[in-house]
Amino acid sequence: MSLSLPSKINTSIRMSVAKRKLESRKIDLQDGNPLEQWGLAKIRNDIKNNKELKEEFGQREIDRDLIKEYKLFKFRELLAYVMENSPYYQSLYADKDIDPSEIKSYEDLERLPLTEQEELANKPYHFLCVSRKDIAREFTSSGTTNMLKRMAYTQGELLEIVDSVISGLKMAGMDSKEDTLQIMYPTITATWDPGLVLSKACDLAGFSSVINDSVGAHDQIETIREAGTTIIIGTSSFLYELSKQVSELIEPGELGIRKIICSSEPLTEEMREVIESAWGCRTLRQWGMTELGLANAIECDHQDGFHLNNPDFLVEVIDPKTGEILPPGEKGELVVTTLRRKCMPLIRYRTRDITSLIDEPCDCGACVDQRICDIERWTDN
Ligand SMILES: [Zn+2]
| Predicted pLDDT at 380 | 45
Pairing mode, strands 231-235 and 180-183? parallel
C-beta of residue 231 within 8 angstroms of C-beta of residue 215 = no
CA 365 / ligand 1 centre spacing (Å)? 7
CA 139 / ligand 1 centre spacing (Å)? 31
Closest CA to 83 of 102, 68, 55: 102
What are the structural domain ranges in the chain?
32-114+310-381
CA 39 / ligand 1 centre spacing (Å)? 14
CA 221 / ligand 1 centre spacing (Å)? 30
| Predicted pLDDT at 144 | 56
CA 171 / ligand 1 centre spacing (Å)? 9
| Predicted pLDDT at 1 | 42
Q: Kindly list the averaged pLDDT for each block of 10 residues, start to end, along the chain of length 381.
A: 53 72 84 92 94 92 94 97 98 96 96 95 95 90 72 91 92 87 77 77 92 93 97 95 96 95 91 97 93 90 94 96 96 96 97 94 91 75 41
Strands of the chain, DSSP E: 137-141, 149-153, 180-183, 208-211, 231-235, 259-263, 282-287, 297-299, 306-308, 313-318, 332-338, 349-355, 357-358, 371-372
CA 328 / ligand 1 centre spacing (Å)? 17
Which residues neighbour 133 within 8 Å (Cβ) at sequence distance 6 or greater? none
CA 227 / ligand 1 centre spacing (Å)? 29
Closest CA to 298 of 39, 13, 22: 39
CA 244 / ligand 1 centre spacing (Å)? 28
Which residues neighbour 106 within 8 Å (Cβ) at sequence distance 6 or greater? 68, 72, 325
Closest CA to 324 of 312, 315, 333: 333
CA 284 / ligand 1 centre spacing (Å)? 11
Which residues partner with 299 through β-bridges? Answer: 306
